[in-house]
């Protein structure tokens, strides 16, 4: 599997919802019932948190 390019990361960042903190992101995951398929990760581009698959 190839690594995401900088452009792909930028696109994902722009497209994804941002969370101010890990706690906010994990709260959203719990509310959506996605604990098994999503995890929160810190974004180096915007400094916020996004939800990732896998």
Contact call for residue 45 and Zn ion (CB under 5 A): yes
SS3 content of the chain, % helix, strand, coil (to 5): 40, 20, 40
Contact call for residue 21 and Zn ion (CB under 5 A): no
According to DSSP, residue 20 is labeled: S
Contact call for residue 46 and Zn ion (CB under 5 A): yes
Contact call for residue 34 and Zn ion (CB under 5 A): no
Contact call for residue 14 and Zn ion (CB under 5 A): no
| 38-to-7, 51 alpha-carbon distances in Å | 22, 6
Residues 13, 24, 26, 28: which binds Zn ion (CB under 5 A)?
Answer: 13
């Amino acid at each position: 599997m190839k690594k995401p390019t900088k452009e792909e990361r930028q696109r994902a960042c722009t497209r994804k919802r941002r969370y101010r903190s890990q706690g906010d992101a994990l709260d959203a995951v719990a509310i959506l019932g996605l604990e098994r398929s999503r995890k929160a990760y810190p974004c180096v581009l915007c400094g916020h948190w996004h939800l990732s698959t896998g």
